[in-house]
């Protein structure tokens, strides 16, 4: 009997352990793992788990200390940074971002990259490394070539904590206990489609991506050591490899991270230290896929330490292990891929055209103001790059992409066929003054009514002029007479 009870107890424990372990990383139905039972003894109840995290929080920045670190950084490195908030958490904490660039807050024809840390409240390594990264870049500008390359050529935005409430509560979810990495609209299932039900942290990220066009990004997690790439979910909810159109590109980007890491690429669990999300375990409503589908942003989900919440004395080592990966993934925004600008042939204005790679069912947009585009691609391959814009003839070119970045500018000829005439932007168009556009368009208008109105105005002016002449003449006459006689 005793044996049966012990067996039941063990079964219960292993079930508990598996549910705990499934929450280790991105979450979900992660299968049993050799280390699962090992960690069990320390996680018998949720309370002791929180106690343990409270103890471990020693040496980690609290939310107010994070804010202080931000202002200290802003003060020290104001020449290369700008601090802003993208919104507030459920409990009203600002979601602080630091932008690092030689021209922070100024739009330039450069790619933008973002790091998002602490998506899960109990995975705080990322938020610490983010501040270390920012300070390292500041200290090494004009000293280290990689720091200088990044600051001069990329706009790097760092959000150390997407979930400050969850951090405070020592738990995965936010203050409403919602897993933020399951709160985004999903491509396969109609979950999270209710805008009002979405968490403020999620909404803040979605607004952010409308404001800024990011080329790529990475969110930082803990509980495993792997670079995870889209798709995260499968249509049949089964665990299997489900690649997105840019599978090759993503495998390359994930490898940039894992190969630059101290030992991520030597993983025995993941070949090369990278994994397709759905192949690991399917996740729905994640941030990564949403970025790629809705924001043209190539996002990776990085699991940067086996231990979700390691003792703070390990943070420096973890920084050393991840430092080159973080720098190289940001630098790959300019060191690899195809980049360029798109102009119109008739007057040379920038065109926010689409850039498509033949054979890859995905398009990225050149920016509205400078028409610069940054198309990340796996190196050592041939590609056909196409630029498309309504009202213009598409253009394509064949390139052989090596290890280094290639520049391809496009000059598109207006398509004068009547069908697309309407959508074509005239040369008089200026993105800074829309009012000017209307005025300039009215004047050369060949319409009869316009001439009529014009003639009427001339006649009216002429009439006014004549009247003024008469009045002046009369006044003149009056002025010659004594003042009293004015009263007529
Ligand atoms: C990487 O190194 C750390 C620290 O030495 C170790 O704990 C971990 O198991 C290693 N992981 C791999 C995949 O080699
Ligand atoms: C291309 O992707 C879109 C979704 O973005 C999909 O609707 C369409 O069917 C795809 N086309 C091909 C040829 O796969
Ligand atoms: Zn996580």
DSSP 280: H
Considering the domain architecture, whether residues 220 and 98 belong to the same structural domain is answered as: yes
C-alpha closest to that of 226 among 186, 280, 188: 280
pLDDT in tens, 84-101: 999 999 999 999 999 999
pLDDT-based confidence at residue 48 (cuts at 50, 70, 90): confident
Q: In this prediction, what percent of the chain has a pLDDT beyond 90?
A: 74
Considering the domain architecture, whether residues 405 and 443 belong to the same structural domain is answered as: yes
Peptide linkage before 231 cis (omega within 30 of 0): yes
Q: In the structure, how many helices (H) and strands (E) does the chain have?
A: 15, 16
Cα 254 to ligand 1 centre (Å):
18
Per the DSSP assignment, residues forming a β-bridge with 304 are 225
Residue 44: per-residue pLDDT: 53
Residue 188 inside a domain? The answer is yes
Ligand nearest to the CA of 362: 2
- Which residue reads 């089964």 in tokens? 238
C-alpha closest to that of 279 among 230, 346, 347: 230
pLDDT-based confidence at residue 179 (cuts at 50, 70, 90): very high
- More confidently predicted of 370 and 457: 370
How many Cα atoms are found within 13 Å in the side-chain-facing hemisphere of 376?
29
Considering the domain architecture, whether residues 83 and 198 belong to the same structural domain is answered as: yes
Residue 6: per-residue pLDDT: 52
Cα 228 to Cα 343: distance, rounded to the nearest angstrom:
36
pLDDT at 34 over 60: no
C-alpha closest to that of 67 among 152, 157, 127: 127
Last residue of some domain: 291, 306, 335?
335
Considering the domain architecture, whether residues 180 and 280 belong to the same structural domain is answered as: yes
Residue 404: per-residue pLDDT: 97
Mean pLDDT of 292-306: 98
Cα 199 to Cα 195: distance, rounded to the nearest angstrom:
9
Residue 34 inside a domain? The answer is no
Cα 230 to ligand 1 centre (Å):
25
Ligand nearest to the CA of 244: 2
Mean pLDDT of 393-417: 96
- Ligand 1 atom closest to the CA of 269, numbered from 1: 13
Ligand nearest to the CA of 359: 2
CA distances from 163 to 119, 130, 285, 317 (A): 5, 14, 16, 24
CATH of residue 185's domain is 3.40.630.10
Q: What angle do CA 330, 304, 134 make, to 5 degrees?
A: 45
Q: Is the CB of 318 under 6 A from ligand 1?
A: no
pTM of the model: 0.81
Residue 198 inside a domain? The answer is yes
When divided into structural domains, the chain yields a total of 2
Q: Is the CB of 317 under 6 A from ligand 1?
A: no
Considering the domain architecture, whether residues 379 and 254 belong to the same structural domain is answered as: no
CATH of residue 480's domain is 2.60.40.1120
Report residue 132 as tokens. Answer: 């270390």
Contact 127, 99 (CB under 8 A): no
Per the DSSP assignment, residues forming a β-bridge with 381 are 401
pLDDT-based confidence at residue 485 (cuts at 50, 70, 90): very low
Cα 263 to ligand 1 centre (Å):
6
Q: Which of 263, 307, 313, 320 to mutate to test the pocket of ligand 1 (most atoms within 8 A of CB)?
A: 263
Residue 103 inside a domain? The answer is yes
pLDDT-based confidence at residue 47 (cuts at 50, 70, 90): low
pLDDT at 446 over 70: no
Last residue of some domain: 335, 361, 394?
335
Contact 228, 302 (CB under 8 A): yes
- More confidently predicted of 442 and 403: 403
Residues 6+ positions from 261 with CB-CB distance below 8 Å: 225, 273, 321, 322, 324, 325
C-alpha closest to that of 280 among 45, 23, 29, 468: 29
pLDDT in tens, 217-271: 999 999 999 999 999 999 999 999 999 999 999 999 999 999 999 999 999 999 9
pLDDT at 462 over 90: no
Residue 322 inside a domain? The answer is yes
Sign of the Cα torsion 253, 255, 259, 263 reads positive
Cα 193 to ligand 2 centre (Å):
21
pLDDT at 307 over 60: yes
Cα 277 to ligand 3 centre (Å):
13
Measured by CA distance, the residue closest to atom 11 of ligand 1 is: 263
Three-state DSSP state, 373: strand
Residue 82 inside a domain? The answer is yes
Measured by CA distance, the residue closest to atom 5 of ligand 1 is: 263
Residue 479 inside a domain? The answer is yes
Mean pLDDT of 130-137: 98
pLDDT-based confidence at residue 49 (cuts at 50, 70, 90): confident
C-alpha closest to that of 397 among 415, 406, 250, 405: 406
Residue 15 inside a domain? The answer is no
Considering the domain architecture, whether residues 218 and 346 belong to the same structural domain is answered as: no
Backbone angles phi, psi at 283, to 5 degrees: -130, 135
Considering the domain architecture, whether residues 311 and 384 belong to the same structural domain is answered as: no
Q: Is 437 exposed, middle or buried (0-12, 13-18, 19+ CB in 10 A)?
A: middle
Residues 6+ positions from 233 with CB-CB distance below 8 Å: 186, 187, 188, 189, 242, 277, 278, 282, 283, 284, 286, 289
pLDDT at 339 over 70: yes
Cα 161 to Cα 235: distance, rounded to the nearest angstrom:
31
Considering the domain architecture, whether residues 272 and 354 belong to the same structural domain is answered as: no
Cα 250 to Cα 278: distance, rounded to the nearest angstrom:
14
Report residue 170 as tokens. Answer: 């020592």
Task: Estimate to the nearest angstrom the gap between the alpha carbon of 408 and the chain centroid.
Answer: 23
Cα 135 to Cα 130: distance, rounded to the nearest angstrom:
9
Considering the domain architecture, whether residues 241 and 270 belong to the same structural domain is answered as: yes
Considering the domain architecture, whether residues 344 and 311 belong to the same structural domain is answered as: no
Q: Which of 1-5, 33-37, 411-415 has the lowest mean pLDDT?
A: 33-37
The range of the structural domain enclosing residue 457 comes to 338-487
Considering the domain architecture, whether residues 244 and 385 belong to the same structural domain is answered as: no
Considering the domain architecture, whether residues 193 and 218 belong to the same structural domain is answered as: yes
Q: Which of 191-195, 381-385, 425-429 has the lowest mean pLDDT?
A: 425-429
Q: Which of 110, 299, 303, 388 is catalytic?
A: 303
Last residue of some domain: 335, 354, 375?
335
Please indicate whether residue 248 is annotated as part of the active site: no
- Which residue reads 């043209």 in tokens? 296
pLDDT at 202 over 90: yes
Residue 221: per-residue pLDDT: 98
- Ligand 1 atom closest to the CA of 317, numbered from 1: 4
Rg of the chain's alpha carbons, rounded to an integer? 30
Contact 278, 298 (CB under 8 A): no
């Amino acid at each position: 009997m005793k044996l049966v009870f012990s067996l039941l107890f063990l079964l219960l424990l292993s079930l508990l352990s598996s549910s705990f372990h499934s929450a280790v990383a991105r979450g979900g139905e992660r299968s049993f793992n050799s280390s699962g039972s090992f960690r069990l003894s320390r996680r018998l109840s949720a309370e002791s788990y929180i106690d343990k995290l409270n103890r471990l929080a020693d040496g980690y920045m609290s939310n107010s200390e994070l804010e202080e670190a931000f202002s200290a950084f802003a003060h020290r490195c104001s020449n290369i940074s700008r601090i802003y908030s993208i919104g507030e958490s459920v409990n009203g904490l600002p979601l602080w971002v630091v932008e690092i660039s030689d021209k922070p807050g100024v739009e330039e024809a450069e790619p933008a990259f973002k790091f998002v840390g602490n998506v899960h409240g109990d995975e705080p390594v990322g938020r610490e490394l983010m501040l270390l990264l920012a300070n390292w870049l500041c200290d090494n500008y004009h000293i280290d070539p990689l720091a200088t390359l990044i600051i001069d050529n990329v706009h790097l935005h760092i959000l150390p904590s997407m979930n400050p409430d969850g951090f405070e509560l020592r738990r995965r979810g936010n203050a409403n206990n919602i897993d933020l990495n399951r709160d985004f609209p999903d491509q396969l299932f109609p979950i999270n489609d209710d805008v009002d039900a979405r968490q403020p942290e999620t909404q803040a990220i979605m607004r952010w991506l409308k404001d800024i066009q990011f080329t790529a990004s990475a969110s930082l997690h803990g509980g495993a050591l792997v670079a995870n790439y889209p798709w995260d979910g499968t249509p049949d909810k089964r665990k299997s490899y489900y690649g997105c159109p840019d599978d090759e590109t993503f495998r390359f980007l994930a490898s940039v991270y894992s190969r630059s890491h101290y030992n991520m690429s030597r993983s025995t669990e993941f070949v090369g230290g990278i994994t397709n999300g759905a192949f690991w375990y399917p996740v729905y409503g994640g941030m990564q896929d949403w970025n790629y589908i809705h924001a043209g942003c190539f996002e990776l989900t990085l699991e940067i330490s086996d231990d979700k919440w390691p003792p703070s004395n390990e943070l420096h080592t973890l920084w050393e292990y991840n430092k080159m990966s973080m720098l190289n993934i940001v630098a790959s925004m300019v060191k690899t891929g195809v980049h360029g600008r798109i102009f119109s042939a008739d007057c040379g204005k920038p065109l926010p055209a689409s850039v498509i790679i033949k054979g890859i069912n995905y398009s990225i947009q050149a920016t509205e103001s400078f028409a610069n585009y940054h198309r990340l691609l796996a190196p050592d391959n041939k590609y056909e790059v196409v630029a498309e814009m309504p009202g213009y003839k598409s253009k394509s070119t064949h390139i052989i992409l090596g290890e280094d970045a290639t520049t391809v500018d496009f000059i598109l000829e207006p398509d004068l066929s009547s069908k697309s005439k309407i959508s074509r932007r005239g040369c008089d168009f200026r993105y800074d003054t829309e009012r000017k556009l209307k005025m300039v368009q009215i004047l050369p208008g060949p319409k009869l009514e316009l001439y009529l109105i014009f003639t009427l105005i001339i006649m009216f002016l002429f009439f006014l002029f004549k009247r003024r002449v008469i009045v002046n003449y009369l006044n003149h006459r009056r002025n010659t007479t004594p003042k009293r006689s004015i009263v007529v």
